[in-house]
Structures are given as C-alpha cells and as structure tokens.
A and B are shown apart, each in its own frame.
Chain A
Amino acid sequence: MSTGSVGWIAADVLIDEVAPAGRAPTRRRRARPRLWRVSILLLAFIYFIGPLVSAFKYSLIQADGSYGFGNYWKIVNSSAILTALATSLEIAGIAAVVVVTLMLPTVVWVRLRRPKLTLLLEGVTLLPIVIPPVVVAAGLEQMQRSAPSWVVSLLFNHALTGLTPFYIVLAMPFTYRALDTGVRAIDLRTLVDASRSLGASWFTTMTRVILPNVQTAVLGAMFLTIALCLGEVVIANLLLYQTFPVEIIQQSLAGTAGIAVALSNLSLVFTFVLLFSLSFVGSRRSGRASRVF
C-alpha cells in the first residue's frame, strides 16, 4: 500500500489542480498571523526542510572527510549504478506506455457503454492497495518457484520482463483515477459521436480525438507510473533483481552511505521535477482546452 495508495491520492491532487475548477472559491475572512498558525507552519518547515538540507550536506562529505562533489562523480563513473538506472528507466518507460494503452480505452469504454461497471472497475483497481507490496512479492516468489520452465525463461530471467507486468498492476489504482478524472472533465459522448459520424474509426477517434483532449491526465498517469517504477524496492529486492533503488540500498549496506544519500537526493530531485512540471503543463493546456468548447 505504501507507494501505491499514496499514488492514487497524489494522482487526484495533481489532476485536481489541473482540471478546471468546478467550485467557486469560498470567501473567507482576511487572515491575520496567529500563534496557532505560525507555530505549525514553523514546525512543518523545520521538520520537512531540515532533513532535506542535512541530506544534501551529508552527500557532500567525501570518503576522505572533506567536502566536495566526489560522491556525485563516483555515481556518474560507476557502471553498476548506471546499468541499474538504465534497467529501471526501461521498466518505467514501458510500464508508462502499456498502462495508458491498457487503461484509457477501458475507462472510455466503461464511461460510454457500461457505466454500471464503474463500481467493479473501482473495486478491481483498489486491489493493489489492499494487498501489501511485500505480499505481492511473496506470491511472485512462489510463482517463480512453481512455474513451468518456459514461463520462467519468458518472464523471470530478466528484470525487464520479470518486473514490468507487475509494476503495471501496482500503477493501476492511480492511473485509473487520473484517467477517469480526465475523461470525466470532457464531453466524451459528443466528441465520440462527432468523430464517428464523420467516418473515423475507433482507433482514430481514440488517438486523434480523445487522447489530445485528456493529454494532461495521460501525462499525469505516466509520470506517476514512472515515479513508482523508479522507487519500488520491495518486490525487486525480494526477487533479487538489480534495479536502481535496490542498487542504492546495496551501496549503503556496502558502507558507502554517502553515495547512497547522493543517489537518493538525485532521485528525489528527479521525481520532484517530474511531478512539479506536470502542474505547469496542466495549466497551459487547460487554458487551451477551454477555447475548444
């Protein structure tokens, strides 16, 4: 549940910010700085920013005790880390594309033709949240052990094929919510009817009519999937695959905590930029989208 559940909630937040505001802002009294507000804001600032600053400082301590960017240089020059990073990025890229091709048609189809299935869909996409990641990992380990050899050689021999299908499942709860929010915000039926009556095939309707209209939601879903794949460690670790986060943990167990902290700083910054940039893409698009209607 850890990253998964938070994922769908984060998806909501990101997409809500992006979607045109449905509710008029409520008027409130002009705020005066008061003790109960100032104190919590100060506490939060110290608690949330303090560790980030210390992590940055820690990552600058080099092996010989002096300060510098040595740890960051070692990362760039380490082939083990770069290989692991490449594997994780590949998994993330494939998972992001597959999850959207799988979910978007489903969401559209359910909204258009089978609205009654919405509940079922919500239920199914909640499953990865109810099942803790470590239990999924345990099940996979069992599967690996008792599967016929062609499944093993097809799926489990490489991290790419062994992890991607399952990361896609883990990504579903929030991909579904992100895409559903996006599809709800457009006039789906009119768009589809117009496109179909002009002779477009379902494929064309999907790629050239619906996709551009829910671009922000699709991007959001993909970004969150990428962030999940770059951060998932429980399954990869239990199944002994060398992905980026597993590599970081091994670096720290090997006694090079400085490098591990530097690596996690980099991945923090990367994810932050990824998710933060979405809010800018979103605000630009929503401005354009409102002109379409």
Chain B
Amino acid sequence: MPFTVYVLVFLGIPLYMVVHGSLTTNGGSFTFDNFKSTFTSPEYKAAFENSLVLALWTSLLGALFGVWLAAAVIAGKPGGMLRRVVSSASGVFAYFAGFPLAFVFIATLGAEGAATVLLRNLGVNLYAGNFRITSILGVGLAYVYFQIPLMVILITPALEGLRPQWQEAAQSLGATKLSYLRHVAIPVLAPSVIGATLILFGNAFSAYATALALAGSTLAIVPAQIDDAINGNVLVGQTNVGLALGVEMILVIVVVMVGYGLVQRRARRWLQ
C-alpha cells in the first residue's frame, strides 16, 4: 500500500528520531540519563504537573458543561433549529483550537480585553490578583472553549441512544424520575462519559498551539519545555532531554487511549 509507505516515511522517521535522540547523549552514545534528568529536574516536574492539572480541570469542566449542554439540546425538537445550530457550531468551535482562539481570548480576557474592561467598570478587577491570560487559569479558560463543543460532539450519540422505552418501562414499573436516572440512565451512560472525558484529557494534554499563541513558550507546560529545550532557549545542549520529554508525552497519551478503548468496549454493550 503506498499509503502505509507514506506514513512510515513521513511519520515513522521523525518518530524514530525522537526515540533515538532521547536515548543518546550529546556525544552519540547510549544512555538513560535524559529520562533521569526529566524526573529529577524540578522544572520538568513542575511542567508535567502543570500539564496534568491543566488537562484535568479543563477536561472535567468541559465534560460537565458538555453533557449538560448536549442534554439540553437533545431535549428539544429532533429536527429543530436549536439542534442544527448547536451541532454545526460544535463542529466549528471544537476545531478552533489554536491561534485564532488565543487571540479571541486576548481580546476578551486580556489586560485590555472587553470582558476585563466591563468587569472593571463594574468594580471587579480581574488583574488585581494572580489572574493573567498567560497563566494556567487563563489558558485553561481558553481550552474550555474547545473542550465543551468536543464533549457535545462526542456524547450526543450516546445521549440519543438512551431509548425512551427504557424510561417508559421504568415508569410503568413505578420508578421515579430520580431512580430512573440512578439505576438506568447513569449506569448506561457512564462508560461513554468517561471515555469522552479521556479524549478531552488527551486533547488538552497534547495541545500546544493555543498556549503558544497566548503565552509564547513561557508557560511551563510540557510542550513548551520541549520547544525550549530543542531551540536552546534556556540552556544549550538540552535537545535530547526535550526528546525524552516527548517520549514521555506519547506514553501518557497511549495510556489515555488504551483506557478509552477499554471503556468504549463497555459502552457498546447498551448503546449501539
């Protein structure tokens, strides 16, 4: 297949270079030191912590509001205008991670952004405390902008798969609305929700474009550290440590994807 050859050349070679580089010293001999220094250096530890925290809270918040929004939309008319608009808009917004999103947020929550100015006129000074658009919180707020639509996209099929007959059956057996939710809807939906949240997590963990446009490579998350290490922005000769960080990032994403595969199998039991 020409396609497989193509992927092997244009993805395989860069990937090989990353793994190879992460396991060699600057002189070219084999070593594990690059990985060791990613675990001992306080900066890299902090970067991993920041990345995980950022991915965790944006995925949980995105999942919560995403499910809520999707449920609100689905409760409406099946072919209605609301559904049409939300489904197209989700496709578009989920796709707008990256620099346009970053600048939209600078215009909104930056030091002179519209929301910042509006709140200041109302007597709330966002920038009085630690809040900056370049901080983990500021960047995270921008991430949620694509996490919620992504959740809506991922979870809508599962919500649609909840058959009305199940609710009718539960009600005719005397279940209240609450017990229907507790014993039918939530157990059926749980694997899908967990799976979608994992995707959101991976999405935020490996994302860099938005943070790059908002904060340059100064925000201490893992992709920014890789960027710095490779371009020698802070210390020269750290390239291979950067590559080791890259390998570790891939491993985290692989774990997330395996988890996704496992819950997905479980989700298919009831929802087709």
**A274: min CB distance to chain B, Å:** 10
A132-B253, A134-B208 as given contacts; A6 in contact with B69, CB under 8 Å: no
Which residues from chain B contact A128 at a C-beta distance below 8 Å? 11
The verdict on B59 contacting chain A, using a C-beta distance below 8 Å, is no
Give CA–CA (A127, B254) in the complex, Å: 10
A2-B210, A132-B206, A268-B104 as given contacts; A25 in contact with B10, CB under 8 Å: no
For chain A, the bracket of interface size reads: 35 or more
The verdict on A289 contacting chain B, using a C-beta distance below 8 Å, is no
A44-B69, A139-B15, A252-B103 as given contacts; A28 in contact with B78, CB under 8 Å: yes
Contact B213 A14 (CB under 8 A): no
The verdict on B190 contacting chain A, using a C-beta distance below 8 Å, is no
Most buried by B among A30, A59, A131: A131
Give CA–CA (A276, B95) in the complex, Å: 13
A136-B11, A238-B230 as given contacts; A14 in contact with B107, CB under 8 Å: no
Query: What are the interface flags for B239-272 relative to A under an 8 Å C-beta threshold, 1 for contact and 0 otherwise?
Result: 1001100110110011001000000000000000
| Interface SS majority for chain B | helix
Which residues from chain B contact A275 at a C-beta distance below 8 Å? 91-92, 95
Give CA–CA (A124, B146) in the complex, Å: 26
Q: Taking CB as reference atom, which chain B residue is nearest A7? A: B95
Contact B206 A59 (CB under 8 A): no
Which residues from chain A contact B90 at a C-beta distance below 8 Å? 13
Query: Which among A6, A25, A44, A249 is the interface contact of B99 at CB below 8 angstroms?
Result: A249
Contact A3 B95 (CB under 8 A): yes
The verdict on A67 contacting chain B, using a C-beta distance below 8 Å, is no
Count of A-B contacts with CB under 8 A?
271
Most buried by A among B92, B199, B216: B92
Q: Taking CB as reference atom, which chain A residue is nearest B102? A: A264
The verdict on A93 contacting chain B, using a C-beta distance below 8 Å, is no
Query: What are the interface flags for A101-114 relative to B under an 8 Å C-beta threshold, 1 for contact and 0 otherwise?
Result: 01100100100000
Which residues from chain A contact B65 at a C-beta distance below 8 Å? 40, 43-44
Contact B3 A102 (CB under 8 A): yes
Give CA–CA (A279, B18) in the complex, Å: 40
Contact B4 A55 (CB under 8 A): no
Contact A172 B206 (CB under 8 A): no
A132-B250, A248-B103, A272-B92 as given contacts; A54 in contact with B114, CB under 8 Å: yes
Q: Which of B40-48, B121-129, B148-156, B174-182 contacts A (4 or more CB under 8 A)?
A: B148-156
**B86: min CB distance to chain A, Å:** 8
**A258: min CB distance to chain B, Å:** 9
Query: Which among B17, B96, B160 is the interface contact of A146 at CB below 8 angstroms?
Result: B17
Chain B residues with CB under 8 Å of chain A are 1-4, 6-7, 10-11, 13-18, 20-21, 65, 68-69, 72-73, 75-79, 82, 87-108, 110, 113-115, 145-146, 148, 150, 153-154, 160, 163-164, 199, 202-203, 205-210, 212-213, 216, 223, 226-227, 230-231, 239, 242-243, 246-247, 249-250, 253-254, 257
Chain A residues with CB under 8 Å of chain B are 1-3, 5-7, 9-10, 12-14, 17, 25-28, 30-31, 36-37, 40-41, 43-44, 47-48, 50-55, 57-59, 102-103, 106, 109, 117, 121, 124, 126-136, 138-143, 146, 165-166, 168-169, 172, 227, 231-234, 237-238, 245, 248-249, 252-253, 257, 260-261, 263-265, 267-268, 271-272, 275-276, 279
Extra contacts, 9 of them, besides A27-B164, A133-B209 (Cβ < 8 A), are: A37-B75, A51-B108, A58-B113, A131-B250, A134-B206, A138-B243, A143-B17, A234-B223, A271-B100
